[in-house]
Structure 1
Amino acid sequence: MDPTDSSDTVPDVFGPARLGPLTLRNRVIKAATFEHRSRGALVTDDLIEFHRRHAAGGVGMTTVAYCAVSPEGRTERDQIWMRPEILPGLRRLADAVHAEGAAVSAQIGHAGPVANAASTGLPALAPSGAISPLSLRRTRAATAADIERITRAHAAAALLAAEAGFDAVEIHMGHNYFTSAFLSPRLNRRRDGHGGSLANRAKVARGIARAVRDAVGDRIAVLAKLNMDDGVPGGFRLDESLQVARWLEQDGNLDALELTAGSSLLNPMYLFRGDAPVREFAAALPQPQRLAVRLVGGRFLRAYPYREAFLLDGARRFRAALTMPLVLLGGITRRATMDRAMAEGFQFVAMARALLREPDLVDRIRTEPATRSLCIHCNKCMPTIFSGTRCVLA
Structure 2
Amino acid sequence: MTTPDPTPDVFAPAKLGPLTLRNRIVKAATFEGATPDALVTDSLIEYHRKPAAGGIGMTTVAYLAVAPEGRTDRHQIYWRPEAIPGLRRLTDAVHKEGAAVSAQIGHAGPVANAKSNGLPALAPSRSFNPISMKATRAATEDDIKRIGEAHANAAKYAIEAGFDAVEIHLGHNYFASSFLSPKINKRKDGYGGSLANRAKVARAAVRAVRDAVGDRIAVTAKLNMSDGVPGGIWLDESLQTAKWLEEDGGLDALELTVGSSLLNPMYLFRGDAPIPEFAATFPQPQQLGVKLIGKKFLHAYPYQDAFLLDYARQFRAELKMPLILLGGITNRETMDLAMREGFEFVAMGRAILREPDLINRIAADESRTAVKSLCIHCNKCMPTIYSGTRCVVIDPEPPATF
Partner of 1:3: none
Q: Note the alpha carbon deviations across 1:109-160, whole angstroms, 9 max, x for none.
A: 0000000011111100000011112111100000000000000000000110
- Residue 259 of structure 1: SS of its match in structure 2? strand
Tell me how far 1:291 sits from its aligned partner: 2.0
Partner of 1:380: 380
Aligned: 1:21 with 2:18: yes
Partner of 2:244: 247
1:35 pairs with one of 29, 32, 36: 32
Q: Note the alpha carbon deviations across 1:338-369, whole angstroms, 9 max, x for none.
A: 00100110000000001111000111011113
2:106 pairs with one of 109, 118, 122: 109
One-letter amino acid matched to 1:198: L
Partner of 2:63: 66
- Residue 224 of structure 1: SS of its match in structure 2? strand
Hey, what's the Cα distance between the residues in 1 that align with 2:234 and 2:80? 34
- Residue 375 of structure 1: SS of its match in structure 2? coil
Partner of 1:282: 279
Unaligned runs of 5+ in 2: 395-402
Moved over 2 A (4+): 286-289
Tell me how far 1:44 sits from its aligned partner: 0.9
Tell me how far 1:377 sits from its aligned partner: 0.4
Partner of 2:165: 168
Q: Note the alpha carbon deviations across 1:80-124, whole angstroms, 9 max, x for none.
A: 101111110111101000000000000000000000011111100
One-letter amino acid matched to 2:381: C
1:90 pairs with one of 69, 87, 91: 87
Hey, what's the Cα distance between the residues in 1 that align with 2:134 and 2:387? 23
- Residue 188 of structure 1: SS of its match in structure 2? coil
- Residue 220 of structure 2: SS of its match in structure 1? strand
2:97 pairs with one of 96, 100, 123: 100
Aligned: 1:323 with 2:320: yes
Tell me how far 1:76 sits from its aligned partner: 1.1
Partner of 2:188: 191
Partner of 2:339: 342
- Residue 228 of structure 1: SS of its match in structure 2? strand
Hey, what's the Cα distance between the residues in 2 that align with 1:103 and 1:182? 31
One-letter amino acid matched to 1:109: G
One-letter amino acid matched to 2:364: T
Partner of 1:215: 212
2:264 pairs with one of 267, 287, 300: 267
One-letter amino acid matched to 1:211: A
Hey, what's the Cα distance between the residues in 2 that align with 1:69 and 1:41? 13
Aligned: 1:45 with 2:45: no
- Residue 258 of structure 1: SS of its match in structure 2? strand
- Residue 321 of structure 2: SS of its match in structure 1? coil
One-letter amino acid matched to 1:381: C
Question: What TM-score comes out, normalization by structure 2 length?
Answer: 0.96
One-letter amino acid matched to 1:378: C
Tell me how far 1:10 sits from its aligned partner: 0.7
Tell me how far 1:287 sits from its aligned partner: 2.9
2:75 pairs with one of 62, 71, 78: 78
Hey, what's the Cα distance between the residues in 2 that align with 1:179 and 1:238? 17
Hey, what's the Cα distance between the residues in 1 that align with 2:182 and 2:70? 21
Tell me how far 1:8 sits from its aligned partner: 6.8
Hey, what's the Cα distance between the residues in 2 that align with 1:159 and 1:126? 25
Hey, what's the Cα distance between the residues in 1 that align with 2:284 and 2:117? 17
Hey, what's the Cα distance between the residues in 2 that align with 1:289 and 1:243? 39
Deviating more after overlay: 22-31 vs 365-374: 365-374
Hey, what's the Cα distance between the residues in 2 that align with 1:289 and 1:193? 37
Hey, what's the Cα distance between the residues in 2 that align with 1:283 and 1:40? 23
1:181 pairs with one of 178, 183, 189: 178
Partner of 2:397: none
One-letter amino acid matched to 2:173: N
Hey, what's the Cα distance between the residues in 2 that align with 1:353 and 1:8? 31
The percentage of counterpart residues that share the same residue type is: 74
Partner of 1:306: 303
- Residue 134 of structure 2: SS of its match in structure 1? coil
Q: Note the alpha carbon deviations across 1:193-234, whole angstroms, 9 max, x for none.
A: 000000000000000000000000000000000000000010
Question: What TM-score comes out, normalization by structure 1 length?
Answer: 0.97
Partner of 2:361: 364
Hey, what's the Cα distance between the residues in 1 that align with 2:283 and 2:313? 41
Q: Note the alpha carbon deviations across 1:276-312, whole angstroms, 9 max, x for none.
A: 0001000012233212211110010000000000000
